[in-house]
């Protein structure tokens, strides 16, 4: 599962019709999303998120390196890749912050 994908500017809504458990949910800020299979754990989903963000940062670094070395003149693609990686990283940090905040709130609950 790829929770962070390419942004689709032609997406009509954040959620569309769901046909099956593994059907497409829709195109939103995170790109194409699919329903999570029941066998995939929460930790595996977070591992996938981190791996995707890392891949985006690696791609942005490689594109920037090519521009700096003069191998390509696609500066705009490099800037777009860097912005994409930055947004993906910011989203990952915010998800982490919300998870920590939720955990702390659960720990404060009276039993």
Domain range list for the chain = 1-39, 41-108
Report which DSSP code applies to 14: S
Stretch 61-69: mean pLDDT: 95
Angstrom distance (rounded) from CA 25 to CA 27: 7
pTM over 0.85: no
- 8 pLDDT band (50/70/90 cuts)? very low
Q: What's 57's DSSP letter?
A: H
Q: In whole numbers, what is the pLDDT of the chain averaged over residues?
A: 77
Please give the pLDDT value at position 66.
95
pLDDT grade for 42, boundaries at 50, 70 and 90:
confident
d(CA 91, CA 66): 27
């Amino acid at each position: 599962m790829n929770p962070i994908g390419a942004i689709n500017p032609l997406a009509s809504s954040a959620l569309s019709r769901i046909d099956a458990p593994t059907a497409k949910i829709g195109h939103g800020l995170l790109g194409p999303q699919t329903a999570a299979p029941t066998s995939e754990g929460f930790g595996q989903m977070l591992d996938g998120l981190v791996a995707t963000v890392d891949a985006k940062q690696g791609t942005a670094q490689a594109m920037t390196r090519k521009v700096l070395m003069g191998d390509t003149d696609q500066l705009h693609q490099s800037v777009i890749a860097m912005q994409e990686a930055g947004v993906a990283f910011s989203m990952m940090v915010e998800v982490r912050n919300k998870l920590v905040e939720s955990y702390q709130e659960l720990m404060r609950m009276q039993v």
